[in-house]
Chains A and B, each alone.
Chain A
Amino acid sequence: MSEAAAPAAAAPRAASGGGGASRGLPGGRWLGVLPFFLFVTLFLILPTLYIVVGAFRTTGGGWTLQNVLDLNTRSIRNAYWVSVQVSFWSALLGCLIGFAMSAAVVLWGLPRWLKQPLLTFSGVASNFAGVPLAFAFIATVGPAGLITLWLRSDLGVILQAGLWNVPEGLQWLLPGQVRFPRFTILSTWGLILTYLFFQIPLMVLIITPAIEGLRREWREAAEVLGASAWQYWRMVALPILTPSLLGCMALLFANAFGAVATAIALTGPALNIAPILLYAQIRGDVLGNPNLGYALALGMIVITAAANALYVWLRARSERWLK
């Protein structure tokens, strides 16, 4: 509440206050931030620049665009494409489900006491990623998982085969066997299903403040002017929330795109997605060209950076209304 106003008021006071000790030497002001800049230069900026620059060099040391062009092979294109699909669908579904859960508690009349547990749980679940998350899903929908076995023994549904042996009681309605798309945890959709476990809570955490920013007056004004609930949503609430929703989706996309550990623990090297390909390249130069590895990493930076830039831009737009 008052937090937003505080820095503006504190900044001039802070700048003038307590300046006695180092005013004598010029540049002494900057000395205090030197350790920070040294640290980020050594362990964040330089390593990243090394990769970015390496993407544009030949093994001999000259400059080239060939590495970036060489990314356009079938297997690398495919890896990026699967990554983009996984990130896109997990971001889209995460956005929709997270929004629905948050809106259900904040706006749609669920008891208010549900909000705090939801936010607390979201804080935990959004940080429960990586290897253990993969184990949880293997234990649930893996080949011998809880739900897999239950569906098979009690309902006759075999997920891996995409086959439903319809129980006798229902055979008057359906044929003896129903086919449906196969599902295994070691597939694109298995990965999406697993990623949703940290995508939905992240969405809940970042969209709840935006939903709470919808003022009651706007709804009342719309009602007074004769709008139905649907018209209020379509013409007032959704246009205001749209930049937030799209921004969150961009953030979720970047979040999924950089995830490595969950995918490796879940599928091993079986699934061809960009982070796993890069992981294999770092371990053993599977592409047979170190500079092509740099270009692969550069592609990942470009995609996550674009998604984040989109998020920042859209958030700035949404703050026009929700502040």
Chain B
Amino acid sequence: MRAFAWGAFVLGALYFVLPLWGMTEFSLSMRRGEYSFDAYRSVLAMPDFQATFAFSAFMALVTIVVGVLIVVPTAFWVRLKVPELRPVIEFITLLPLVIPAIVIVFGYIRLYNTGSWLPLTGTAMGTNLLLAMGYTVLALPYMYRAVDTGLRTIDVGTLTEAAQSLGAGWATILGRVILPNVLSAVLSGAFLTFAIVIGEFTMAALLDRPAFGPFMQRLGQDRAYEPSALAVIAFAITWGCMGLIGLVSRTQKHTRAAR
């Protein structure tokens, strides 16, 4: 049994290590006969790389802000006032996992085209907004679950009453009482959102936005070594985001233990 277990584990691990090794090795071998960082230098110097990466990073930030603004008040309000709505809201937030992103963006293109009642795709700004909304929808399942789990660990009712009796309005309660208490949950959701948005391809390509995902795909068609360098960079970003999530959830455990 033990030998079988080791065999299964080592074979599985090998399957994961080989592609990572392959892309790293490939990304370093642009110069013939020796390892070099030429592919990375070449990628980082591309104006398109800088522009698309900045665009996608900015999109990710907008998505996180919109997501927090929608999810935190809703999850708070549902816990406090309308708990009977919880199953409905939970179901809706899981829908983006069921409906493929390509179908959602297909709907956007037809529903918000230039001839429609809300012609968002008519302008670059409007399309950017639509893309940010689409990303917020994609991030909704993760964001909602993270925040709802965070709210579960605090006593929403008592905190709200205490704040109200001290004269706080809803904005103060949300921004200065609830948000700080679920901050690590919000940050977890935010980092995961960043990891999803930064390399997203389907929505950005179909809405024809200059994002990082479509840039990577185009580069994959014309270049040999640079795509591997991009893959290494993308893997590092994903790893970084997951590491940060681990970090904030660990910090939270400490504060909870101290209380």
Contacts and interface: CB of A to CB of B under 8 A. Distances in A.
Interface of A: 3, 6-7, 10-11, 13-22, 29-30, 32-33, 35-36, 39-40, 42-44, 46-51, 54, 97, 100-101, 103-105, 108-110, 114, 120-121, 123-125, 127-128, 130-141, 144-147, 196-197, 200-201, 229, 254, 257-258, 260-261, 264-265, 268, 275, 278-279, 282-283, 293, 297, 300-301, 304-305, 308
Interface stretch (B30-38, B88-96, B179-187): B88-96
A131 B201 contact: yes
A109 B1 contact: yes
A240 B113 CA distance: 51
Contact of B102 (A21, A144, A147, A282): A282
A197 B152 CA distance: 33
Contacts of A139: 19, 22-23, 25-27, 227-228, 231
A320 to B, nearest CB: 20
Given A101-B9, A279-B206, A131 B213 contact: yes
Given A108-B4, A133-B231, 11 more contacts: A33-B82, A36-B74, A40-B137, A46-B111, A104-B9, A127-B196, A131-B217, A139-B26, A139-B228, A261-B213, A282-B106
B124 interface: no
Interface of B: 1-2, 4-6, 8-9, 12-13, 15-16, 18-23, 25-27, 70-71, 73-74, 77-83, 85, 89, 92, 95-111, 133-134, 136-137, 140, 149, 152-153, 155-158, 160-161, 164, 170, 192, 195-196, 199-202, 206, 213, 216-217, 220-221, 224, 227-228, 230-231, 234-235, 238-239, 241-242, 245-246
A40 B39 CA distance: 42
Nearest to B112: A47
A6 B150 CA distance: 12
A229 B1 contact: yes
A145 B26 contact: yes
15 contacts: A35-B74, A36-B74, A44-B92, A47-B106, A51-B106, A110-B2, A123-B242, A136-B22, A136-B235, A139-B227, A140-B21, A147-B18, A254-B97, A282-B109, A305-B99
A268 B104 CA distance: 21
Nearest to A262: B201
Nearest to A39: B70
Nearest to B226: A135
Q: Which of B99, B155, B246 counts the most chain A CB atoms within 10 A?
A: B99
A109 to B, nearest CB: 5
A14 B154 CA distance: 11
B137 A43 contact: yes
A308 B99 CA distance: 10
Contacts of A279: 102, 202, 206
B103 A301 contact: yes
Contacts of A134: 220
A214 to B, nearest CB: 15
A51 B103 contact: yes
A114 B9 CA distance: 10
A140 B156 contact: no
A253 to B, nearest CB: 12
Contacts of A7: 152
A130 B100 contact: no
A14 B77 CA distance: 10
Contacts of B152: 3, 6-7, 10
Contacts of B78: 32-33
Contacts of A305: 98-99
A22 B170 CA distance: 11
A110 B199 contact: no
Most buried by A among B4, B133, B158, B217: B217
A135 B204 CA distance: 19
A208 to B, nearest CB: 13
Given A108-B4, A131-B213, A308-B97, A43 B134 contact: yes
B12 A135 contact: no
Contacts of B104: 43-44, 47-48
A313 B245 CA distance: 30
B5 A110 contact: yes
A104 B73 CA distance: 43
Nearest to A6: B152
Nearest to B227: A135
